Structures are given as C-alpha cells and as structure tokens.
Amino acid sequence: MKKFIIFPICCLLFCLCSMAQFTKASLQATGLTCALCSNAINKAVSQLPFVESVKSDIKNSSFAIHFKGNMYVEFDDIKKAVEDAGFSVGGLSITGRFDNVQVEKDKHIQIGATVFHFLNNANQILSGEQTIVIVDKDYLSAKQFKKLTSATKMSCVQTGKANADCCTKDGIKAGTRIYHVTI
Amino acid sequence: MKYLFFLFLVVLATKTNAQPKQGAKAFEIALPSLKGDTVKLSTLKGKVVLLDFWASWCKPCRASNKELVKIYAKFKNKGFEIFAVSLDEEKAAWKKAVAADKITWIQVNDMGGFDAKIAEQWDLFAIPTSFLIDKDGTLIAMDLTGKQLEKALKSLIDK
C-alpha cells in the first residue's frame, strides 16, 4: 500500500522540479585558443622596435624573443602587443647579462633605465647571464598574482608604480614604473 | 589614362590583400613529402581537394585530423583528396604526428612555421586553416568544420 502512495508523490515532486526552465548559462573554458597556432602574437611582437626576432618555442609552448643590442627594452610594450593581438601574458622571464649586481629583498635596483623591485629572494650578487621573472599584474595568471600579492603588504606590487607609501625610497619619484621581479 | 590609373589601383589593392578568396584559383604548391619527393597541388586537378594547413604542435589541428580520417575514408574513392601542408620545423615531430593520427592522405611540409614561404603566400593568420578546392582548382570554401565539409562533399561528389 505504501508503495502506491510514495510513487504518486515522487511523480508529483519530479513534475514540480522539472517545471524550471533554464534560460542562460555562462561557461568558462580553458584551452580555447592555441597561442602558438596564431600568427598574430608573432607578428605583433616582432613589430616592436627593440625586437630582433620572435621564434615559436614549441617544446615550451612559448615564444622566444630576441632583443636588439643597445636598445631600450620596454617590457610593458610586449605585454601590450600580446594583449592587442587578443591574448594575455601567462609569464614573461627575461634574461640578461648582470655585472655584479647586488640584489636584496624589497630593494630597488636600476638596471639601464629600468627600475626593478626584487621580491621574495635571498640577498645575493647577480653576475653573468641570469633570468628573472616579471610578476607584475597581467604578467602571470590571476591566481598566481593573487598568491604572490597576498605575501606582501606593499601597494606598489598591485599598481606597478611607485607611490607615496611604497617604492619611493631610494630616491625614486612617485609614479615611476617599477617592474616587480623574482629570480 | 585615368582608367589606367584606376586599374592600377585596383590591382594594387588586390595584391596587398593576399589571402586567396572564394572563387580565386589556388596557387600552385610544390613541396616535399615525408619520403622527400616533391608533390604538386596542381596534379590533383579533376578531384575535389581539401588543402589543410596544420602542425603537430597545434592541438586544434590534431583534433581536426581525427575527424578528417573518417571523412577521408568515406570519400577518398569518390574523387576526394586531402593535401595537407605541415608547418612543423622538425621533421621527426611531423612524422610522428602523421603516424599517430593514422594519416594516409598527401602530406607535405614547409619548415619554418609561420615564417615559411607558404605561410606568407597564403597569408596564414592561424592554423588550422583549410581551403576546399573544386575539380577545376577554384577555391570554394574556407575553414569548414567536419560536418560542413561532409555536407559540401556530398553535394559536390555524390550529387
């Protein structure tokens, strides 16, 4: 007897539930675009005045960018070129020759015309060929950036610029672009 | 004289806009196959041809290969051929992908990725890029999905 009661109730519940009509959904998917499959990044970056060549580095799914010698390199212009091509930067490591550069955690160092702020690294002297990673906003994934910024209280890490309470020591003017990097 | 100048402008305009459009004749392609012998696109006249630009590192291209295998099996004996141009820079990677995807259609390669001459000539913006070419060598469609390609082949070949 019980069965005969439960069954119609289940039916009724089911009918009530299935009345809902879905009208919209928002789907976020990754891996939609194959960056290496697009010639757009390649073309956009190779048109920068300080870029000598851009090669697809298939093994690392990245682009190997070679700079012209004796030319000022503006990393933000690379980011802009990538974004203008419809993509975003997932990581940018830069390699250069260092001549006994003393780096300390949260200390500013001017290399050429660019000011770097070294985050989270032990005090050391850089010499010879070294690679550093830019960790400013939109230079890595949002998740990685969040993780990194939660480890520091300095507001300039968020903005990438020197402001009154942050990054202005060492005689740096407020508003100066500062690249935050790690080794 | 004015007309001549106008004509010159038109020619210039069409020249700068290099990517072949529907109704245009396919450029000749002559590139080496896996075995090393040169294969020409023009020898396929009389067949419906899918010209497919791809590379082993291009995941969407590999996904499309899977579908092409099925379509090729259905239509290859009815006057359909696939002429695939790989932009791989490493012959070994190309060879491996051809074997892994069980590709039996024509495969040629122009090393140099997007810097390859062929990529410039066809003004490739991204891969995969494909063109459907009719029996007379005229481009009739571009970037068809598997289903669209099958539909087009049915109307072109089965009639």
pLDDT band at A5 (very low <50, low <70, confident <90, very high): low
DSSP 8-state class, residue B17: S
Contacts of B64 (CB under 8 A, 6+ apart): B52, B54, B128, B130, B146
Distance from CA of B27 to the nearest CA of A (A): 21
Q: Are A49 and A75 in contact (CB under 8 A)?
A: no
Q: What percent of chain A is modeled with pLDDT above 70?
A: 85
pLDDT digits 0-9 by tens, B96-121: 999 999 999 999 999 988 889 999 89
Q: What's the Cα-to-Cα distance from B115 to each of A38, A54, A84, B112, B128, rounded to whole Å? A: 12, 10, 21, 5, 16
User: Position of tokens 């200390």?
Assistant: A107
Burial class (CB in 10 A: 0-12, 13-18, 19+), B56: buried
pLDDT digits 0-9 by tens, A146-169: 988 887 777 888 889 887 777 766
Interface probe, candidates B115, B122, B124, chain A, greatest A C-beta count within 10 A: B115
Cα separation of B71 and B150, whole Å?
Answer: 7
Dig out the tokens for B46 from the structure: 């009389």
Cα separation of A53 and A59, whole Å?
Answer: 18
A38 contact residues in B (CB cutoff 8 A): 125-126
Q: How many Å separate Cα A3 from the centre of its chain?
A: 60
**Mean pLDDT, rounded, for A7-25:** 61
Provide the whole-model pTM. Answer: 0.74
User: Position of tokens 């899977």?
Assistant: B66
Cα separation of B11 and B2, whole Å?
Answer: 14
Amino acid at residue number A53: S
Query: What is the pLDDT, as a whole number, of residue A152?
Result: 75
Q: Are A45 and A79 in contact (CB under 8 A)?
A: no
**Mean pLDDT, rounded, for B57-76:** 95
Dig out the tokens for A159 from the structure: 């903005």
Cα separation of B79 and A177, whole Å?
Answer: 62
Query: Which chain B residue shows the shortest CA-CA distance from A58?
Result: B57
User: Position of tokens 């896996």?
Assistant: B34
B58 contacts A34? CB cut-off 8 A = yes
pLDDT tops 90 at residue B32: yes
Considering only residues B149 and A113, tell me which one the structure prediction assigns the higher pLDDT.
B149
Q: Are B149 and B132 in contact (CB under 8 A)?
A: yes
ipTM: 0.72
**Mean pLDDT, rounded, for A43-70:** 89
B126 contact residues in A (CB cutoff 8 A): 37-40
Q: What is the mean pLDDT of chain B?
A: 89
Query: Which chain A residue shows the shortest CA-CA distance from B59?
Result: A34
Q: Is the minimum CB–CB distance between A36 and chain B shorter than 8 Å?
A: yes
Cα separation of B112 and A131, whole Å?
Answer: 27
Nearest alpha carbon to residue B64 among B54, B74, B73: B54
**Beta strands A114-118 and A108-111: pairing type?**
antiparallel
